Structure 1
Amino acid sequence: MPSFSLAALTALELSPPELVEVAAACGFEHVGFRLLAATPGGLAYPLMDDAKQLRETRSRLDATGIRVADLEVVAFRPETDVESLTAFLEAGRMLGAQHTLVAAYDPDLSRFSDRFARYCELAASFGLTADLEFMQWTHVPDLNTAVAIVERTSSAAAGILVDALHFDRSRGSLEHLHRISSSRLHYWQMCDGPAERPSTTEELIHAAREERMFPGEGGIDLVGLTKAMPPDITISIEIPTAELAKTMNAEARARRALHGAKAVIAAAGIIS
């Protein structure tokens, strides 16, 4: 049976301790934290640099029984030094995290592949996986590219992160997904979106980072995607809704998201 994680981006206004409390109140089993910003200057909570908040977060996790599914965002750029990520990974080990999300912002895919392989080995030494997320505006824009890079990596920590929105927008193939070894699929991200795909990169980015839809309320084939994924891995519910957040608090949004996700997996024939 799958378990559910409240992704950081669903309620990025909450600090990690606050996010744990909301996850517990809503019935999630896991939570995800954004320790590194997705973009320069973006919002993040660098617990590796804040010992007090790291201890508080660990305390909330212990008190609620919530576990950490993943940490974000390891954004590889041309200047990224793999060793500089050691403190981030150490924080992950202290939090009991399982996975780390990787994004490719390096146009030199050969260089990125080499660094990704080194990062996988480093992450594994801390008990964490390294999961490459494909996004159309990055240099790993689709499932095919992600698979090619991960398959070059011998480390068992190397994985492919399937995000429902990016899978749909990049016209991913369910048939191809079925052929990927389950050992490379550690967790995946669920959300929904309009059936009509954005026509520009700017619209793609805006929708992905700020305005997604709750599972079952859009036009993405989430039932088909759910059936194609391993049934027993964590589903991270990642649904930023910047406009709705002006009038609906984080707990209410998280509850709505989880309710929709459970309805999707039930429709797929999986009972949670």
Structure 2
Amino acid sequence: MNKQFSLAYLTVLGCPPDEMIEIAARAGYDFVSLRPIYMGLPGEPNYSLSDNPDLMKKTKKALSDTGVKLLDIELARIYDGLDPKRYLPAMESAAELGGRHVLSSIWTDDRNFAIESFAELCDLAKPLGLTVELEFVPIASVSTLAGVLDVLHTVKRDNAGVMLDMHHFHRSQDKVEDLDAVPREWFRFLHLCDAPAEIPTSKEEMTHILREARLYVGEGGIDVASIVNRIPEIPCSIELPNTQRSKELGYAEFARQCLVTAKEYFAKHPREEQDTLDKKKLVEV
């Protein structure tokens, strides 16, 4: 099965949805991963589709004209004081555009509130035909695979799953063997990127790399293949923010390079080869 790729919003940070879709189509992506949930960050454009009918119309037309599909929307953060219904308009827009998933992460230390809010988010998404993928982030409250699994096992929602980001998985120092205990159906898409092997000791440096300086797949020190090939074949959303390169190359060429380098990497690290190595290790043990 050929890998499918999505162009994630942070890779072309600030790019309008319709333009992003056209860039993805020209570069050869199968999907886009949009951010119609306005987060109010400094300098962040508001691409809320539910609040902007003209932008919704342009986005729908771009998807129809190009054949690119909407993979997921972001970011349904769980934070103190959140009313999950805040995300309903964005999820309705995603469903109207044929989207499949909603990306979420947890930024509150109140476990009970996090569980209740995430469960409600899943319940709101289900009638729309959407699944909700929980991502662990090294600078967030839920920062490890174990933390995500705790939430998923507690909420017991059949449209909930886990979303692995290569940068975050490496920084959390989780082990690929831990992925074997995760129900296969909980994997629906992943975030693809690379980063230096050395894990920053400061939150500031961690945040800088996470948001502005990730690397092409195969360029850094993360053993991406060992992670990706350990789980089922699912779409890879390339989330690779690199401020310097995107400015130098422009959105279109940077997005193209992200895809080209990812495909080259996986051509050198096929799934069959990884499966053989895993079986050999088992025999040796």
TM-score past 0.5 threshold = yes
Q: TM-score, normalised by structure 1?
A: 0.95
Q: How does 1:1-272 map to 2 (within 5 A)?
A: 1=1, 2-38=3-39, 40-41=41-42, 43=44, 44-231=46-233, 233-270=234-271
The residue matched to 1:244 in structure 2 has which SS? helix
Query: Counterparts of 2:197 and 2:161 in 1: how far apart (Å)?
Result: 28
AA in 2 matched with 1:154: K
Q: CA RMSD in A?
A: 1.4
The residue matched to 2:143 in structure 1 has which SS? coil
Query: Counterparts of 1:39 and 1:188 in 2: how far apart (Å)?
Result: 25
Q: What per-residue deviation string (whole Å, max 9, x for no partner) do you get for residues 14-43 of structure 1?
A: 100000000000000000111124564462
TM-fit CA distance, 1:270: 3.9
Query: Counterparts of 2:39 and 2:89 in 1: how far apart (Å)?
Result: 17
CA pair 245-30 structure 1, distance change in 2 beyond 3 A: same
Mark the runs of 5 or more structure 2 residues left unpaired by the alignment.
273-285
The residue matched to 2:164 in structure 1 has which SS? strand
CA pair 9-182 structure 1, distance change in 2 beyond 3 A: same
CA pair 170-39 structure 1, distance change in 2 beyond 3 A: farther
Contact 2:18 2:62 in 1 (8 A): yes
Query: Counterparts of 1:58 and 1:39 in 2: how far apart (Å)?
Result: 24
Contact 2:78 2:105 in 1 (8 A): yes
Contact 2:138 2:144 in 1 (8 A): yes
The residue matched to 1:62 in structure 2 has which SS? helix
Contact 1:134 1:140 in 2 (8 A): yes
Query: Counterparts of 1:192 and 1:37 in 2: how far apart (Å)?
Result: 26
Q: TM-score, normalised by structure 2?
A: 0.91
The residue matched to 1:248 in structure 2 has which SS? helix
Query: Counterparts of 2:250 and 2:88 in 1: how far apart (Å)?
Result: 35
Bigger RCO of structures 1 and 2 (CA < 8 A, at least 6 apart): 1
Query: Counterparts of 1:38 and 1:205 in 2: how far apart (Å)?
Result: 17
What is the aligned residue count? 270
Query: Counterparts of 1:14 and 1:85 in 2: how far apart (Å)?
Result: 21
TM-fit CA distance, 1:178: 2.1
TM-fit CA distance, 1:174: 0.3
CA pair 103-8 structure 1, distance change in 2 beyond 3 A: same
The residue matched to 1:6 in structure 2 has which SS? strand
Contact 2:37 2:87 in 1 (8 A): no
The residue matched to 1:49 in structure 2 has which SS? coil
The residue matched to 1:120 in structure 2 has which SS? helix
Query: Counterparts of 1:169 and 1:39 in 2: how far apart (Å)?
Result: 26
Identical aligned residues as a percent: 32
Contact 2:49 2:93 in 1 (8 A): yes
TM-fit CA distance, 1:80: 0.7
AA in 2 matched with 1:180: V
Q: What per-residue deviation string (whole Å, max 9, x for no partner) do you get for residues 127-184 of structure 1?
A: 1111111011111011010011011122211011100000000101100012211111
Query: Counterparts of 1:136 and 1:39 in 2: how far apart (Å)?
Result: 21
Query: Counterparts of 1:264 and 1:223 in 2: how far apart (Å)?
Result: 9
Query: Counterparts of 2:250 and 2:14 in 1: how far apart (Å)?
Result: 10
Query: Counterparts of 1:189 and 1:172 in 2: how far apart (Å)?
Result: 16
Mark the runs of 5 or more structure 1 residues left unpaired by the alignment.
none
Query: Counterparts of 2:193 and 2:38 in 1: how far apart (Å)?
Result: 21
Query: Counterparts of 2:183 and 2:63 in 1: how far apart (Å)?
Result: 32
AA in 1 matched with 2:164: V
The residue matched to 1:48 in structure 2 has which SS? coil
Contact 1:38 1:75 in 2 (8 A): no
The corresponding residue for 2:281 is: none
